[in-house]
Amino acid sequence: YANALREADPKAIIVGPETLNFHTTCSNCAGYPAGRAWIDEFRAAYRAKFGGEPPIDVWSLHTYSLSWDVLPQRDYATQARELAAFRGYLDGIPDHRGKPIWLTEFSVIWGYEGVRWQTVNGDLKAAPTGSFRSDLLTADLTEMLKWLKANAAALRLERWFIFSSHAYQEPWATQPAGIALVEGVGDQAQL
């Protein structure tokens, strides 16, 4: 596909697969594989099939603090460490050394002081308890943005995107619980 895309548009940019974090997964949860394990498997499968590294122009990462035992989930320093570790990993691979990184998602997905897990229509869902701490989320977002600005050039971090502009209800939650920069829709949307 990369060859077909580049033939059709020589300026096309192939962005590598978005993984959730690089080293850390989550605490006090069922868990999932770390992003590095998935990337290692992806690269190995590609090399086995095609004999070289994937033809990626830009690598992508999503970073989140997913500590269910420390709420609200805000920890820009963990996200910063994930990005720095990812840069070090890429720079250790000759074919990917120095390639840009795009942070295609970062945010806070749980902004409440607590969580109560409950069964809703047979599915386990997170329900908020306590207050939504927009003050803490604002402080964390401010520090993350400062860190990104200060470290983007050294990490070759070309772009970053916050999730989400609007309140988003995760499928495992009873209501939206993360950062929302805009309320309302269309022309009626307000910061």
pTM over 0.85: yes
At 35, the amino acid letter reads: G
Find residue 63's DSSP bridge partners. Answer: 106
Question: Are 32 and 96 within 8 A, CB to CB?
Answer: no
In order along its 191 residues, the chain shows pLDDT tens digits of: 889 999 999 999 999 999 999 999 888 888 888 899 999 999 999 999 999 999 999 999 999 999 999 999 999 999 999 999 999 999 999 999 999 999 999 999 999 999 999 999 999 999 999 999 999 999 999 999 999 999 999 999 999 999 988 888 999 999 999 998 888 878 888 88
Token pair recorded at residue 45? 């499968």
Q: Burial code of 61-92, b = ≥16 C-beta within 10 A, e = fewer?
A: bbbbbbbeeebbbbbbebbbbbbebbbebbee
